Amino acid sequence: MLNKDQIAQRIAKEVKNGQYINLGIGIPTLVANYIPDDLEVVLQSENGLLGIGPFPTEDKVDPDLINAGKQTITMTKGSALFSSAESFAMIRGGHVQLTILGAMEVSENGDIANWKIPGKMVKGMGGAMDLVASADNIIVAMQHCSKDGQSKLLKECSLPITGIRCVKKIVTDLAVLDVLPEGGFKLLERAPGVSVEEIQSKTEGKLVVEGEIPEMTFEV
């Protein structure tokens, strides 16, 4: 099983040179730590920044410079600041090429739910609905099952959804999977020590397994 950092590390391999990327709150934020130095990419923060840098040192903390998770941040060289309207113009207009975000549930046709549990919890959708309706490539970072063992990769989402037919790839603590255009989770890689059978048993939606499924490897 992968821990959160390993999920982030695996997702980082999907990043391509020259991309503009939006990272959601939580595990997606950790992806930044694993993007290879030789790739030139730009991280977008939907509250109005292109070019998120590392967290600041104590003496550089600035309340006027935060990311979408309200964490204090720094800017890289060549960054630009703008309004929320401009920020979502970028997102909606398809200029941000890759969105990485968390999910409570994903369905086998690529629907995603991540903003509300009726009667129990409402975080609000924030920018997620705009992001999933707009970006060409959407990768989800999530746990394969809930704490009580229920699969979160479903035939249909049970929670109010955030967007339809939008998720392209999923990296969980157990596996890497593509969402097929015709529906279904195509298993691509297994977490170290996790069997295809275990993934099958923990995936409620249709799982497509073709040939040998390699185990992920991590350089230390």
Task: Let me know if 210 is a catalytic residue.
Answer: no
- How many residues bind other proteins, per CB under 8 A? 72
- Our CA angle for 198, 9, 210, nearest 5°, is 40
- Structural tokens at position 125: 């959708």
Tell me the C-alpha to C-alpha distance, in Å, between residue 19 and each of 86, 126, 139, 152, 158: 18, 23, 14, 29, 33
- Structural tokens at position 9: 């590390």
- Structural tokens at position 79: 């960054």
Binding residue (CB under 8 A) for other proteins from 1, 5, 34, 76 = 76
In angstroms, give the least distance from the CB of 41 to other proteins. Answer: 7
User: Among 2-10, 130-138, 180-188, 210-218, which window interacts with other proteins (CB under 8 A)?
Assistant: 130-138
DSSP codes of every residue in 9-46: HHHHTT--TT-EEEE-SSHHHHHGGGS-TT---EEEET
Question: Of the two residues 118 and 193, which places its CB atom closer to other proteins in the complex?
Answer: 118
DSSP codes of every residue in 183-215: SSEEEEEE-TT--HHHHHHT--SPEE--S--PB
Binding residue (CB under 8 A) for other proteins from 95, 136, 181, 214 = 95
- Structural tokens at position 154: 């479903």
Site for other proteins in 136-165 (CB under 8 A): 160-164
Asked whether the beta carbons of 97 and 136 are under 8 A apart, the reply is yes
Question: Of the two residues 46 and 204, which places its CB atom closer to other proteins in the complex?
Answer: 46
User: Among 80-88, 172-180, 182-190, 191-199, which window interacts with other proteins (CB under 8 A)?
Assistant: 80-88
Binding mask 170-209 for other proteins (x = CB under 8 A): ----------------------------------------
Question: Of the two residues 91 and 106, which places its CB atom closer to other proteins in the complex?
Answer: 91
- Our CA angle for 89, 126, 63, nearest 5°, is 90
Site for other proteins in 15-54 (CB under 8 A): 18, 20, 40-42, 44-51, 54
Catalytic residue from among 14, 46, 156, 182: 46
Q: Is 133 in the site for other proteins (CB under 8 A)?
A: yes
Active site residues: 46
